[in-house]
Amino acid sequence: MGLESQIKLPVIEFSEENLKPGSSAWASACIEVRRALEEYGCFEAEFEKMPRRIHDAAFAGAEELFRLPTEVKMRNTSTKPYFEYFGQYKTLPLYESMAIDHPTSLDAATNFTNLMWPAGNDRFRESAQSYSELVTELDRTVARMLFESYGVGYYHDYYSKNTNYLLRYIKYNEPEMEQSNEGLLPHADKTFFSIIHQGKVSGLQVKVKDDQWIDVPPSPTSFIFMAGEALMAWSNDRIASCYHQVILKEKGTRYSLGTFSFITGTVHILEELVDETHPIKYNPFDHFEFLHFVKQNLGTNSNPCLIKAFSGL
Ligand SMILES: O=C(O)CCC(=O)C(=O)O
Ligand SMILES: [Fe+2]
């Protein structure tokens, strides 16, 4: 066995028991979440509360969505940077994606659905909403656990009130013989949290200690939580953003669902996270101004960590 196969992502189980704030199971999950993020920048959440039918309906929705003609998919536009349709890139020929801004909101989910299917598609709309209800609830729980473990549980209120969630449907065609199997180049997200849920076909790899890439196998109840650059700054560099990529080694079209959290307004650097061993590294910043900055400064082929350039001290 090679060294690589020995490293596995930390797995944290979210069960009825530890989802209860204040319980002793909750308290140990808080510690596990913080440890995993500080050590790996990511972890696998085993979320048994995700019903199989919601998982299946969300991926059936993805397949239906990508069957639409390209000109219809391109109606998915936004004034927010990185919230729109992506695809038809020469450098990433296998990749295509679309995104719903505020996917838990009935109005937003309906608007997106009607844009794609002018005659409506209740099944799709309902699947997007019920999937994201559960995932965003899990996100708020994980965030609260992390905040509590740093002794800043009060930040949960601000986070929950000001998160802007984005649900992205992602598709990768199977590479042809002569094509590269690179689905998505190495990068760190510009989010607070990113939660990746893979369909049947694997491909996600995350970079861990010693620059090793490890495969993350899919499962209907497994959600990969990754720290984005906003969380890295918020944590005053206690947590590093997670580098990841997609390599298509398995047969078949690959689908994945990304739930991304952004803060509407200021990301604070809390004084509780500053001490002698962690001197302050960032100025507070506006998350969406950061995204605009990224859009202006990101080259097409490289993906540097930009939060330091934007708000580093
Ligand atoms: O498809 C995946 O598994 C990862 C997608 C991703 O990294 C992204 O959309 O930022
Ligand atoms: Fe990503």
Structural domain for 127, as ranges: 3-263+277-311
Whose alpha carbon is nearest atom 1 of ligand 1? 256
> What are the residues whose beta carbons fall under 8 Å from the beta carbon of 112, sequence distance 6 or more?
76, 100, 101, 103, 125, 128
Nearest atom of ligand 1 to the alpha carbon of 194: 10
* Eight-state DSSP code of residue 175: P
Residue from 82, 83, 245, 256 to probe ligand 1 pocket by mutation (most atoms less than 8 Å from CB): 256
pLDDT, position 1: 46
Residue from 59, 182, 184 to probe ligand 1 pocket by mutation (most atoms less than 8 Å from CB): 184
Its pTM surpasses 0.90: yes
With a Cβ cut-off of 6 Å, ligand 1 is lined by 168, 170, 184, 189, 196, 198, 204, 244, 246, 256, 258
Three-class SS state of 48:
coil
Nearest atom of ligand 1 to the alpha carbon of 226: 7
Q: Does 94 map to a domain?
A: yes
Residues 182 and 88: their CA atoms lie apart, in Å, by 15
| Segment 3-18, tens digit of pLDDT | 555 688 999 999 988 9
CATH code: domain of residue 53 = 2.60.120.330
Q: Does 184 map to a domain?
A: yes
> Does residue 2 have a pLDDT over 90?
no
| Segment 104-137, tens digit of pLDDT | 999 999 999 999 999 999 999 999 999 999 999 9
Could you give the number of structural domains in the chain? 1
For residue 305, with 0-12 CB atoms within 10 Å meaning exposed, 13-18 middle and 19 or more buried, which class applies? Answer: middle
DSSP code per residue over 260-273: EEEESSEEP--GGG
Distance 264 CA to ligand 1 centre (A): 22
Q: Does 91 map to a domain?
A: yes
| Segment 32-73, tens digit of pLDDT | 999 999 999 999 999 999 999 999 999 999 999 999 999 999
Mean pLDDT computed over every residue of the chain: 95
Q: Does 270 map to a domain?
A: no
ipTM of the complex: 0.99
Residue from 89, 197, 198, 204 to probe ligand 1 pocket by mutation (most atoms less than 8 Å from CB): 204
